[in-house]
Amino acid sequence: MINLNALVYGVEISNLSPLVYYAGNDEDIKIGDLVLVNTDMGLDVGKVRIGPKEMTFEEIGYEVTSILRKLNEDDMITYKENIELAQKAKNITEKKAKELNLPMRILSSRVVFDRSKIIVFFGSDTRVDFRDLVKELAKEFKARIELRQIGIRDEVKLIGALGLCGQQTCCSRFLRNFDSIKMEMAKTQQMLINTAKISGRCGRLMCCLAYENEFYEKSLHCIPNEGSTIEYENVPAKVITVNVFLKQVTLQIIENNQPVIVKLPFDYFKKNCPIGD
């Protein structure tokens, strides 16, 4: 099987958006440069974050197009004007949405490079009929208007917030992609299942639950769960605590009608793991 390679750059279309790879062999392009590229929104400007690097098409996973060019002086003037126009579009959309009594939170807007389209991103707790709003905006800007409703996680990522840890939320600070976060992760990490303490500002389970999950899964593999009953030296034993940091399991057994505490290292259980686990 032929494994074809391409010299590519990872380009960020908007702040902390997933990187899109574009082909390019211009030695003048450096990390941090603004470049002109084709996107799903149209001709747009992105910032180079990675590259140049050689990747296989299998690693990239999609058909790669080329960077059109690094922004020149005229392009930079257009780009800055588009940023100002996007802010104006956001402000006017907010005003008109209120006039139409639409339950929308206008978050940001973006103007494609040739100004043929304006994309407005908004959040809402319900479906919104924004057809009248689009008509008014199209008359105002003489351009194609696209309103995109985004999910609550993306909304917090876009506007930013403080997490329960006191720091800026991970999504608005460095995360480009959202992992699938499940309640099982909190249980695996022996956290108290208190929704208020394991949910982020978006109301969903915190992204940071994924960071240490692999460590806990590996450490607790073949270790009995707290509260379960197992057999220890041919007698029933209740698992009182599982301490992942001390790597110790505390059991309670009954001897001579009296409760007896037994502490066992994780290795006691690990050595009896089924082959292949």
Phi then psi for 23, rounded to 5 degrees? -75, 155
Residue that has been written with the tokens 């996973």 in this structure: 61
C-alpha triplet 102, 107, 112: angle, nearest 5°: 110
Q: Which two tokens stand for residue 235?
A: 């007698």
Q: Each residue's pLDDT tens digit in the chain (277 positions)?
A: 455 788 999 999 999 999 999 998 777 899 999 999 999 889 999 999 998 999 998 889 998 999 999 999 999 999 999 999 999 999 999 999 999 999 999 999 999 999 999 999 999 999 999 999 999 999 999 999 999 999 999 999 999 999 999 999 999 999 999 999 999 999 999 888 888 899 999 999 999 999 999 999 999 999 999 999 999 998 999 999 999 999 999 999 998 889 999 999 999 998 877 655 5
Amino acid at 115: R
Tell me which residue of 246, 251, 253, 238 sits closest to 267, measured CA to CA.
Answer: 246
Distance CA 221, CA 169 (A): 31
Phi then psi for 26, rounded to 5 degrees? -85, 110
Side-chain-side CA neighbours of 162 within 13 Å: the count stands at 4
Provide the terminal-to-terminal Cα distance of the chain, rounded to the nearest Å. Answer: 33
Q: What's the pLDDT score for residue 24?
A: 87
Q: What's the pLDDT score for residue 115?
A: 94
Distance CA 209, CA 94 (A): 35
Q: What's the pLDDT score for residue 3?
A: 57
Q: What's the pLDDT score for residue 271?
A: 86
Q: What's the pLDDT score for residue 96?
A: 97
Distance CA 81, CA 207 (A): 36
Q: Which residues contact 16 (CB under 8 A, 6 or more apart)?
A: 157, 171, 172, 174, 175, 176
Phi then psi for 127, rounded to 5 degrees? -70, 145
Residue that has been written with the tokens 């698992």 in this structure: 239
